[in-house]
Copies of this chain bind each other. A is one copy, B any other.
């Protein structure tokens, strides 16, 4: 494909479910000329409690599906998949890839004043130790305190974005980090920006919340620009939608949920038999 064609190709984004929509939303805001193909693995959600091997296998299947859609780049909009699988995926994949972890780590190191950074995420992301690793590469003095919050994803997937139960669970998860004196908190799971206001209430104004979704979209834009792959004008679509959504199950439920997050009108979500990839 010539570069001028490649510029018009879509960007692929994937997540275990709806959480990655927070990354897709940032990409739409920051790169309004880009076409986006989103895949949510709703038949196998959640990833955060599953093994490295299983999450890698699932991610590889999704990348094969996205490559078949002729994407020019892929954003792994899932912290667990970024933590467990990104290295292997990058080796196997011919298009540029970006995960959500490095951008989040960089933003947190810039934001902290006292060097105490909290990270919340799934069991998989936290136990991988990947956030502390990246953060210490950038600032060896930084103290990184991780906390797995396994119930946040089910709460978000159930739509309890503003709910006293979510408040109660957030208090339980976050108290310990607050007692340790963190001044910066990475929302290390793409579902968490959806309960950002709850988390913000619990930690208070003294703590800066870092949303890797925002940082990832920003870095992806820079990366595409450097490679000459940014679309410079609104794509000609000929009736096709600029944004296409695929899931592995429960397309209607996904579409309803997604329409609450993304204000660009999701006309439809199609079901893909991802196990065949």
If over half of A's interface residues share one DSSP class (helix, strand or loop), that class is named, otherwise mixed; here it is loop
Known contacts A168-B168, A169-B165; decide if A157 and B49 are in contact (CB<8 Å): yes
**Is residue A44 contacting chain B, with contact meaning CB distance below 8 A?**
yes
**Is residue A51 contacting chain B, with contact meaning CB distance below 8 A?**
yes
Contact residues in B for A275 (Cβ distance below 8 Å) = 275
How many chain copies?
A: 2
**Contacts of A46-60 to chain B: CB distance below 8 A:** 49-51, 53-54
Selected contact of A249 from candidates B43, B51, B169, CB within 8 Å: B51
Contact residues in B for A172 (Cβ distance below 8 Å) = 165
**12 intermolecular pairs with C-beta atoms under 8 Å apart:** A42-B50, A43-B50, A43-B54, A49-B157, A50-B249, A54-B250, A150-B158, A151-B154, A151-B158, A154-B154, A165-B172, A168-B168
Q: Which of A42, A44, A154, A157 counts the most B-chain CB atoms under 10 A from its CB?
A: A154
Contact residues in B for A150 (Cβ distance below 8 Å) = 154, 158
Tell me the count of chain A residues lying within 8 A, CB to CB, of chain B.
22
**Is residue A31 contacting chain B, with contact meaning CB distance below 8 A?**
no
Distance between A273 CB and nearest chain B CB, rounded to angstroms:
9
Distance between A85 CB and nearest chain B CB, rounded to angstroms:
14
**Is residue A155 contacting chain B, with contact meaning CB distance below 8 A?**
yes
Measured in the bound complex, the distance between the Cα atoms of B154 and A151 in whole Å is: 7
Binary per-residue interface labels of chain A (169-208) against chain B in the complex, 1 for a CB within 8 Å, 0 otherwise: 1001000000000000000000000000000000000000
Q: Which of A51, A155, A169, A275 counts the most B-chain CB atoms under 10 A from its CB?
A: A51
Measured in the bound complex, the distance between the Cα atoms of B151 and A51 in whole Å is: 22
